[in-house]
Amino acid sequence: MDSFAEPRKPIDNSISLADVRAQVHKLEEDLRDKNIPVSGRIIQVCHYLPVTCAFARRPRPEEIPSPPATPPAKAADIPPSPTEPQPGDSSLPAPKDAALDKARPQWSLAVRYGHSAMVSGIDSLATTHEQIVIGWTGDIQASSPAEPPVASAVTSDPSGLPTSKVATSSLTDEDKKELESMLEEYRSRDEPENGKKIHYVPVWLDDKDAHGHYDGYCKQTLWPLFHYLLWQDVATEYASADAHWAPYAAVNAAFARRVAEVYRPGDLIWIHDYHLLLVPSLLRQALPDAAVGLFVHTPFPSSEVFRCLPRRKEILDGMLGANLICFQTYSYSRHFTSSCVRVCGYEVTSRGGIDVQGHVTAIGYCPVGVDADRVAKDTLRPGIQPKLDALRALYEGKKIIVGRDKLDVVKGVVQKLRAFEKLLQDYPQWIGNVVLIQVTSPALTDSPKLERQVSELVAHINGEYGSLDFIPVHHYHQTIKKDEFYALLSVADLGVITPLRDGMNTTSMEFVISQERTKKSPLILSEFMGISSTMTEALQINPWNMSEVAAAMHRGLTMSEEEKLRRHQQLYKTVTTHTSQTWAAMLAKKLLERLGSQNMARQTPFIPKGQLEQHYLKAKKRLFLFDYDGTLAPIVKVPSAAVPSKETLEALETLTADPKNVVYIISGRDGEFLEQHLGHIKNLGMSAEHGGFIREPGESTWRNFTESLDMSWMSEVLEIFKYYTERTTGSHIEVKKSSITWHYRSADPEWGLFQCHQCQDLLENNLARKRPIEVLVGKKNLEVRPLAVNKGEIVKRILYFNPDAEFIFCAGDDKTDEDMFRALLLFPQGTTSPTATARLDPPLSVTLLASSKEDADKFGPVDLAITPDAVFTTAVGHSSKRTLASWHVTTPEEVVEHMLHLVRVAGEQAPSSSSL
């Protein structure tokens, strides 16, 4: 995603839920027509299940105390009654209470509040899709005092759980299965009546890991960082950003295992929020063909803030296991892309995706909304109107400003109060005529310092500007009931929501819907909110600028009815169009589009070691064709540091020692580098500068393919490259004999990429049209070379002079190596018959080195001995990498490992063959 050139796309307000669902249905039908599996199921992976669980164990039979023994009866003259039960009579029925207790369920379920937008969006998808919601049970409450749970009996329990919680370790497998059965029958009140089934699947976590994950790494490290606070700003002075990494990784692994257990081919997987950022990568390893999406509900910070995180690479690599990552806004997606480029050095594709070893992750954004229909119904609750009338009577003759926030440092309550004080200072006419009703609900983690600061500021403003009959600020630190909440939003003359940093804020949307039936009052929003980009008709401010906020308050309070109505209508249209239901359907649509793209439709299989070994052993002559950088040696920042490992040298030396093998290194490096590091290996053939030069096995001289070509273009390209080098700090030019390359690996990654695109455009649209050259974009470089020279031509030459080869192994990792794979497409697509034959015409790389036209004419077509199943073209990188190769391995080390395996197998077979 080129941040220098790509503008933010405007949000489409004409979208409708019916249209999106129709598009989803069509995409699924198209995929089925292409034989791509589509199950019709969506797996939603959330930190919590939308259900709370309480547990009270049934007493086990062995735990029920036995009654005291009946004393022996004294002998009596009167015989016993035949109707009275006799001692020892085993036919007595069990007490009724015991039978009932055996049938009583141990678990009770209730709705979990919070994340209402996400949950309502997921519920709405049940109209069209079967769903599986996977999440942690949360702390399990003890629901009955009759039997104290195990955890509550020990105050020093290592999990640190409160005494009212049940330790997960105390639950038996039968207890867990009972809850899973109850969850299978559970239905949310918001599920569509005639919708498809939603299955709720719990993830069982160790209590210590669960709290180290959430209360530790999530809340003390990631959440502050994503809201532009560093961990030392919100924790103790001894805070460590790495202290809770182990439980974070363990919990993510547990979630990934649970998903893998329920996954079926064709399922769509959506992972939600920053609690589970490692799950995509873990799923990519376990389920390579799965369609995985990740939606980040929080803001994503600038790369300069994100790079402070010690585990920055692990987090980014974890996220990049997804096929698609979505954020709330374009700016968050841009920050993420920038972090991938700057922190990890990954490439950005032409469509804005992130390329990690050939696996391309698409990046997008899709704002979340609220369930507008449900909110509209809630505003009609009968209990609201009396409270609304009471508020109007209480504040009669005064304008009412309303704010409702969590008492959290990033919610900007302190800044809002100071801005209100500034309003009373700068516009004294409002003293006695306006009140601020600020409700602060308790945050997940208490902050006594912030609570004290807010209380002191409220007291200061009321003392400075209040009087016996006027209190300017009414602060309520409590969780208010739904009727009170909607009455407050409805009565307001101005809504003020000014967090310092926030992702989605439902209060702002609920305010707009509440105002539809009352005053159509304006809304002030912080520009640092994820939703501010869609709610453009709100008065947007910088919450740090007190004068600006005070002026916006004054403007909102004095706004004309016409302007209020115009702004409200636009905001209402946005809020009722971009709902939680539309958001959820859009996510399904985006992931289906990704599933249908070429990148995911063809997964390159991992090279089959057994098949490779079989063809290697039976072949009388074998060809090995290797790229160097990224294939035999890993890509490094300093090119000169890419030296071959001991294992690589061992594999090449052993392969070349076998007279049946013809081994070539076909690299973009110059001959001098190849000679320096590999020249000592006897019988190793080498091709340098992407096919510009060749040194045959056993020879010491290089042959130049460009001698007969017009190379005068190099001076013109050099001048262009010099121009961009002067303007791109950290870039440099590499001039070879047959090509010229501009490198920008050490430049600022985004600026370097932008300059690369500009330079490429100049070369392709001007020079390449007049000269016999081609322009290649490589990994952090731009190369220009003659049209007639490439790796594919060298492969054809080697094959032409070795037509009796019965086994070919060719490995490469980048775009220039696709020329080699293309040259080895010797048979029509789909040909698998072992009797199929191929013929090769004399390639340009053969005729170019002929001393005369007569010599060139001597070369004719040759018949090849190779069969389709004995050609092993192998791409190094992810299985989703777009390539012409038939197989893949993940890393250069795996290429070397496969070669060493072949020579060992051949070595083991040789003694047994000679003994026969």
For CA atoms 499, 500, 505, 508, the dihedral sign is positive
Active site residue 97: no
Q: Which two tokens stand for residue 206?
A: 């160790």
Query: DSSP of 865-895, one letter per residue?
Result: ---GGGEEEEEES-TTS--S-SEEESSHHHH
Q: Which two tokens stand for residue 856?
A: 């060139």
Name the residue among 342, 331, 277 with its Cα closest to residue 301. Answer: 331
- As a whole number of angstroms, the distance between CA 600 and CA 587 comes to 17
* Distance, CA of 651 to chain centre: 38
Residues contacting 660, CB < 8 A, separation 6+:
619, 620, 621, 622
DSSP 168: G
SS3 542: coil
Using CA atoms, how far residue 676 sits from 86, 667, 681, 741, 811, in Å, is: 104, 14, 11, 21, 22
Name the residue among 364, 361, 197 with its Cα closest to residue 291. Answer: 361
- As a whole number of angstroms, the distance between CA 811 and CA 741 comes to 23
What phi and psi values does residue 52 have, to the nearest 5 degrees? -100, 145
* Distance, CA of 691 to chain centre: 39
Query: What number of CA atoms fall less than 13 Å from residue 182's CA on the CB side?
Result: 20
- As a whole number of angstroms, the distance between CA 529 and CA 377 comes to 26
Residues contacting 683, CB < 8 A, separation 6+:
656, 657, 663, 697, 698
Burial class (CB in 10 A: 0-12, 13-18, 19+), 376: middle
Rounded to 5°, the CA angle 780-785-790 comes to: 95
Beta bridge partners of 626: 665, 811
- As a whole number of angstroms, the distance between CA 876 and CA 604 comes to 11
For residues 873 and 887, is the Cβ–Cβ distance under 8 A?
yes
Rounded to 10 deg, the angle between the 312-319 and 279-286 helix axes is: 50
* Distance, CA of 218 to chain centre: 16
Name the residue among 465, 463, 472, 482 with its Cα closest to residue 436. Answer: 472
- As a whole number of angstroms, the distance between CA 844 and CA 47 comes to 60
Name the residue among 719, 713, 787 with its Cα closest to residue 759. Answer: 719
Q: Which residue has the tokens 């403003």?
A: 461
For residues 891 and 648, is the Cβ–Cβ distance under 8 A?
no
Residues contacting 869, CB < 8 A, separation 6+:
611, 615, 832, 834
- As a whole number of angstroms, the distance between CA 298 and CA 185 comes to 32
Alpha-carbon radius of gyration of the chain: 35
End-to-end CA distance of the chain: 63
Provide the b/e sequence for 672-706 (b: ≥16 CB within 10 Å): ebbbebbeebebbbbbbbbbbbbbbbeeeebebbb
Q: Which residue is catalytic, options 175, 317, 405, 627? A: 627
For residues 543 and 415, is the Cβ–Cβ distance under 8 A?
yes
**Strand order, beta sheet including 41-48:** 198-203, 130-136, 41-48, 268-272, 291-295, 324-327, 359-365, 354-356, 347-348
Residues that are catalytic: 627
